[in-house]
Structure 1
Amino acid sequence: MAFTLRQLQFFLAAAEQESVSRAAKALSISQSSVTEAIKALEADLGVALFERKAHGLEITNAGHQFLRHARKIRDDVSDARRAFDAGPETRTGEIRLGVTALVAGYGLSDALARFRRSYPAVTVAAIEDTGDYLEHLLIGGEIDVAFLITSNLHNRHALQVESIAVSAMRLWLPLGHPFVSREAVTLDEVAAEPLIMLSVEEIEESTSGLITSLGARPNVAFRTRSVEAVRSLVATGMGLAILPDLIYRPWSLEGDRIEIRDVSGDLPTVQVGLAWRRGAPLGDITRDFIRLAQASFRAAP
């Protein structure tokens, strides 16, 4: 029996919410309906899409692969319906967008895809740069809105900021590492391990500060500005990393597993948000872009 769009919708909600109960709440249906739909979908595909954990759902490698197909099917169906709308959107204009490297992989592609479907005639001019430079562009009126780490803003008084998510910092480690058997690891134990440093958005400074506060010197095995490089290096056992949950994915590009564990102690959090110049008039198209982007970033797995 072929799977249905309804089952696909329930699977997407469960994957995005990482919980049957939260998915059911988001869809305004019963938890049993979500559970039954996922079981039927797994039976139809012949694979396990989730691992059931005490704290919720964890997507499997097969589920991770199917997720990309499911999103494409959902978007294709939306596009097919839009093709027969009586009044297709014809408004024109331009959105000038800024985004930092760390946030670029967290919901941005879905936000842009949703916006293009709603406003196919509107141009989006995007730039990726550091948070400091994007603040400068916002204040100078050179871009309309930016997605960035709002916990690091230097000109908050000049910007209107809306938080999207707060992300905890946790330890990334390879499958098979001795720490995998632990629920939490102490910062002292992490300090003795080789570390992969992500040199963007003050992440390295934050991690180094945590280690040096113990009177130790960070044992840096490798520095990189690429999140994908961090995933690959951690997954192959070159070192560990302390990074925000928002960029965590359980698989490297090579298909190797990456585990995460809590680090005991008072670790900083990372706040992701949208920012635009305080007092600047926002047009309807820009407001719609912000609304769609908020939904996309909050739904990002």
Structure 2
Amino acid sequence: MQYFATVARTGQISLAAAESNVSQSAMTAAIAELEKALDTLLFERQRTGVALTHHGHLFLQHAQRVLEAAEDAARHPFRERSVVGGSLELAASYTVLGYFLLPFVASFRKLHPQAAIVPVEQGREHIEEAVASGEVELAVALTSNMIEPRRFHRVVLARSRRQLWVSASNPLAELSQVAMADVVDYPYIVPAVDEGDVSAMRYWTDAGLLPATFIRTSSMEAVREMVALDLGVTILSDMVFRPWSLEGRRIRAVPLKQPIPTMEVGLIWRKGHRLSPVADAFRRYLQVAVGARSED
């Protein structure tokens, strides 16, 4: 399951093998054995690597829960429940809450049942001001969007590359890489959440290009469905990528030739502020869980 989850995340058996310190043949054999045991294909092979099938995507959700439970058991096999208590209002943006943070909150609460972590969805500007003023003690935000990140103590928790999303029938889906110039003739879908429109305009401006048509929506599921129906294309991070729309239509991610800044998720708190016991416990838990180090 660990090998399967790593291949699903990297999209390439060779990268997954290198990351897991095993040979590519051993990784391939392990995936084949798992597919045989489940009697279904988990990946479909492509020129650029592999992509989850519909059954693979469903199995990944189960596998991740099993791996999280195993990790918790191995990390705390005989440890008594922590006495850390108190309440923490944790600010986070739409994308961070929906695609990153909540499983960590659930795991932390299992380890510290007397602690209450209350996630509160806020926009990036509100998060920065609330943390700076002391209204909010701790936040997890898209630090790649922050204007003045050095105002805060900051721990980068994850970086996620951006790729082009297209329908399975789109001609660009067959390419190993695409240039920004290949994309301009297609309607471009912009998610109007977490400053997705601002980020999009930034890398289009850097490329010196502009799509002929923009389609804006505040729904990520609408983005996926429009891409899957070949009504347009978009460039978004791997963190929010899913290979299927809600209606089960296929979506493909294609690497870009031009370097696009990654989406960065980070933990922030006010400089000079000593965190409360529950906030400090959650900060330390997150850093250990993702293997992160402080940046500022």
TM-score (normalizing by structure 2) = 0.82
In 1: Cα distance, 2:101 partner to 2:42 partner: 24
Amino acid at match of 1:129: Q
Code of the aligned partner of 1:108: L
**Residues 233 and 291 (structure 1), Cα distance of their counterparts in 2 relative to 1, 3 Å cut:** farther
d(CA) in 2 for partners of 1:215, 1:78: 46
Give the match for residue 147 of structure 1: 140
Q: Which amino acid aligns with 1:219?
A: T
| TM alignment of 1:208-227, pairs within 5 A | 208-211=201-204, 214=208, 216=210, 218-220=212-214, 222-227=215-220
The equivalent residue for 1:257 is 250
Alignment pair present for 1:245 and 2:238: yes
* AA partner of residue 164 (structure 2): L
Which of 196, 201, 204 aligns to 2:194? It is 201
Alignment-derived partner of residue 267 in structure 1:
260
Q: 160-169 vs 12-21, which deviates more?
A: 12-21
Q: Does 1:67 align with 2:60?
A: yes
Aligned to 2:155: 162
Aligned mate of 2:40, from 47, 59, 75:
47
After superposition, what is the alpha-carbon deviation per residue over 1:109-159, rounded to whole angstroms, capped at 9, x for unaligned?
221121122112210111111111101111122223222121222232320
Deviates further, 285-294 or 44-53:
285-294
Whether 1:132 and 2:125 are equivalent positions in the alignment is yes
1:77-104 CA-to-partner distances (Å, cap 9, x unmatched) read 6788999956223432122211111222
Identity of aligned residues (%): 33
Q: 1:287 — aligned with what?
A: 280
1:297 is displaced (CA, Å) by 5.9
Partner of residue 111, structure 1: 104
Check whether the contact 2:84–2:281 (CA below 8 A) recurs between aligned residues: no
| Secondary structure of residue in 2 paired with 1:106 | helix
Say which SS state the counterpart of residue 31 (structure 2) adopts. Answer: helix
Distance in 2 between residues matched to 1:218 and 1:278, nearest whole Å: 44
CA contact (8 A) 2:108 2:282 kept: yes
Retained in 2: the 8 A contact 1:111–1:297? no
Q: Distance in 2 between matches of 1:31 and 1:165?
A: 26
Instruction: Give the 3 Å change call, closer, same or farther, for CA 84–176 of structure 1 in structure 2.
Output: closer
Shift of 1:182: 1.9
**Contact 2:185–2:211 at 8 Å: present in 1 too?**
no
Q: Distance in 2 between matches of 1:67 and 1:217?
A: 35
Give aligned pairs, total.
Answer: 291
The TM-score, its normalising length taken from structure 1, stands at: 0.81
Match of 1:135, SS? Answer: helix
Following superposition, the deviation at residue 264 of structure 1 comes to: 3.5
Q: Evaluate the alpha carbon distance shift between residue 205 and residue 78 of structure 1 in structure 2; reply closer, same or farther with a 3 A threshold.
A: closer
Letter in 2 for 1:181: E
* CA RMSD after TM alignment: 3.3
Look up the match of 1:3: none
One-letter amino acid of the counterpart of residue 59, structure 1: L
Taking a change above 3 Å as real, the CA distance of residues 56 and 116 of structure 1, as seen in their structure-2 partners, is farther
Structure 1's 79 and 102: CA in aligned 2 closer, same or farther, altered over 3 A?
A: closer
Equivalent residue number for residue 188 of structure 1: 181
CA contact (8 A) 2:167 2:228 kept: yes
Q: Which residue identity is paired with 1:254?
A: E
Work out whether residues 10 and 38 of structure 1, in 8 Å CA contact, stay in contact via their aligned partners in 2.
yes
The alpha-carbon distance between structure 1 residues 288 and 91, as it changes in their structure 2 partners (threshold 3 A), is closer
